[in-house]
Amino acid sequence: MLPLLLGLTLAQANQSSPPPEQVLQPQEVRALSGQLDTVPVFNSNSPELVLKEGILLSTFPPNGKKLPTAHLNFPFRGRFDIFAHHVAKAEPPENLRSLYLGIILHNPGTQPVRVNILQRASYLSQPDAPFIKLDAFIPNNAGAVFAGPGSRVMSDVLRGRRQGIFPAQIVIPPGESQMLLNLPIPVQGFTPALNGRSSFMRLRSNGTVYAASLAMFAPTNKDGSERAPTLGEWQNLLNNGELSTPRDKVPTPL
């Protein structure tokens, strides 16, 4: 009889439980005290996980491009910022080639354009800045505390730093392009075979430039070793490539 009595007791308890109560607590939504500036930001973050090489983001004009809809036709001039964060993964697991991230600038004018690199940093999640758990409050006077590549990048930029691997200025001849970034995201030797790179730079140009970020798996030398893609290979991908897919979700309208 015990199982039957137990079942009746549970059923009676369920019947006597009151329905959940809905509690409404109105809150005031306040704007932050600061304000947005007018500096345009080139934001390359889709797809975050890059599984196929191609165009990540392009502000180039669409004319002469294989896929015109992939290009936004937005020129930069004066102060502008560039942010890029992308992740590479061995897919399939035996494919351990590095994924290169390239950011290219183009001068469409008839005079050379100088691009001053005010602050700039780029770090990998492995081994430069692994994601770790930190205490709620840690003094960071020297800028040596970070919990991921984005954290380390912004710490450098906010402190006015420019990594030594980057020049203070590049000059783009009229009608030509130059690589602003051409760095790998390696996955070989890491467990899991997954890695990411975050980059941020504050720039100022004295003329009009177009920008694009591109993804390409590392080309190989005759001996099988990897090498960085050339400017010509990046330009060919920009002109004749398609969007890197699968894309992330489209943002909802404001």
The dihedral region occupied by 240, where left means phi > 0, alpha psi between -120 and 50, and beta the remainder, is alpha
The set of residues, in sequence order, having a beta carbon less than 8 Å from that of 177 and lying 6+ positions away, is 104, 105, 106, 107, 231, 235
Instruction: Look at residue 8 in the predicted model and tell me its pLDDT.
Output: 45
Q: Is the pLDDT of residue 12 over 90?
A: no
The C-alpha atoms of residue 186 and residue 225 are separated, in whole angstroms, by 13
DSSP state of 189: T
pTM, entire model: 0.84
Question: Who has greater pLDDT, 238 or 249?
Answer: 238
Closest of 182, 186, 192, 184 to residue 96, by C-alpha: 186
Residue 195 lies in a domain: yes
Residue 30 lies in a domain: no
Number of domains the chain is built from: 1
The C-alpha atoms of residue 195 and residue 198 are separated, in whole angstroms, by 10
The set of residues, in sequence order, having a beta carbon less than 8 Å from that of 81 and lying 6+ positions away, is 39, 40, 41, 42, 200, 201, 202, 203
Instruction: Look at residue 36 in the predicted model and tell me its pLDDT.
Output: 84
Residue 180 lies in a domain: yes
Q: Give the residue carrying structure tokens 């790998």.
A: 184
Over residues 94-133, the pLDDT tens digits come to 999 999 999 999 999 999 999 999 999 999 999 999 999 9
pLDDT band at 14 (very low <50, low <70, confident <90, very high): low
Instruction: Count the neighbouring beta carbons within 10 Å of the beta carbon of residue 5.
Output: 9
Instruction: Count the neighbouring beta carbons within 10 Å of the beta carbon of residue 224.
Output: 6
Closest of 116, 228, 92, 229 to residue 166, by C-alpha: 116
Instruction: Look at residue 93 in the predicted model and tell me its pLDDT.
Output: 93
Residue 29 lies in a domain: no
Structure tokens at 39: 């500096």
Q: Is the pLDDT of residue 168 over 80?
A: yes
Residue 212 lies in a domain: yes
Residue 19 lies in a domain: no
| Average pLDDT score over residue span 43-59 | 97
pLDDT band at 74 (very low <50, low <70, confident <90, very high): very high
| Beta-bridge partner residues of 99 | 185, 217
- Among 15-24, 34-43, 167-176, 231-240, the minimum mean pLDDT is found in 15-24
Range of the domain at 71: 45-134+142-240
Give CA angle at 104 (102, 106), nearest 5°. 170
The C-alpha atoms of residue 120 and residue 160 are separated, in whole angstroms, by 8
Residue 34 lies in a domain: no
Q: Is the pLDDT of residue 175 over 80?
A: yes
pLDDT band at 253 (very low <50, low <70, confident <90, very high): confident
| % of the chain surpassing 70 pLDDT | 94
Instruction: Look at residue 213 in the predicted model and tell me its pLDDT.
Output: 98
pLDDT band at 203 (very low <50, low <70, confident <90, very high): very high
Residue 12 lies in a domain: no
